[in-house]
Amino acid sequence: MLINQIPLFLTAQGGDTLWGLIKEVLDDFFSLDLGNYNNLGLSSVTLSGLRGAIIALYIGVILASFAAVFNKKAHGGFIRALLECDCTSAEKAKTLSELGYERSAVVKSAVKSKSVYRGMLCCVEKEEYDKKVTFGRSLHALRAAESGEKRAQYEPADYKYDFSTAHFYIPERLRYDAEFRFEKKGSGIGAAILVSIASVVLMWATLKIMPDILQFFDNFVGRI
């Protein structure tokens, strides 16, 4: 929304031509001058979408670099807190309150999403619940086999975290993986900015040399 308001702001300041100039400069800087590549059999639709695909690729790299920063800052802090407190077994597990993350909506959302900490973070209460589910499923199957009657499938409710009492830990065997994945150093905002600058430069270079690459392959195919 902020980007959409820029032209309005410039117009209000008598700078409508300035915004048009900025757009013209950006379009020229990231232009893709394509020719006719009949031997490759590329349609005009494919060629017209090539510029957008290249730009989208490098924008994805930029977004991924900042996502990595967020991942290590927001999510990594919780993992590092567990390791610093030596929470490497069920007996040593701690609650969010004990770790200072009782008000962290980001951590709570990540725990419930089952993706950010997948295969690394363990919850004592959830493990106990899973054991009960496994026992209940086995008991249900046994009773169904004994009675010989067709029964409805055993469908336990999904586990719901009570973050005021849930205890978390990282198994000792996964300590190294956790430390490596959520290491504090090596992925700061400075690194993300450098990746962004490099991506913009590579994007420009790719757009400039792409016509030559396509022409080379078009000539090569034409000689076959």
Rg (CA), the chain: 28
∠ at Cα 47 (43, 49), nearest 5°?
A: 115
Tens-place pLDDT, residues 59-100: 999 898 888 777 777 788 899 999 999 999 999 999 999 999
Q: Is the pLDDT of residue 2 over 50?
A: no
Taking every pair of Cα atoms in the chain, the longest distance, rounded to a whole number of angstroms, is 84
Q: Record the pTM.
A: 0.59
Tens-place pLDDT, residues 24-44: 666 666 666 666 766 676 666
Tokens of 89: 């077994």
Name the residue type at position 141: A
* Poorest-pLDDT segment among 12-16, 81-85, 107-111: 12-16
Pick the residue with more confidence: 170 or 21?
170
Instruction: Answer left, alpha or beta for residue 171, where phi above 0 means left and psi between -120 and 50 means alpha.
Output: beta
pLDDT confidence bin for 174, thresholds 50/70/90: very high
Question: Quick one: which of 56, 64, 6 has its CA closest to 30?
Answer: 56
CB 83 within 8 A of CB 178: yes
Q: What is the DSSP letter of 116?
A: T
CB 154 within 8 A of CB 137: yes
Region 155-174: mean pLDDT is 91
Average pLDDT of the chain to the nearest whole number: 79
Would you kindly state where each structural domain of the chain is located, as residue ranges? 44-208
Q: What is the dihedral of CA 63, 65, 71, 77, to 10 degrees?
A: -140
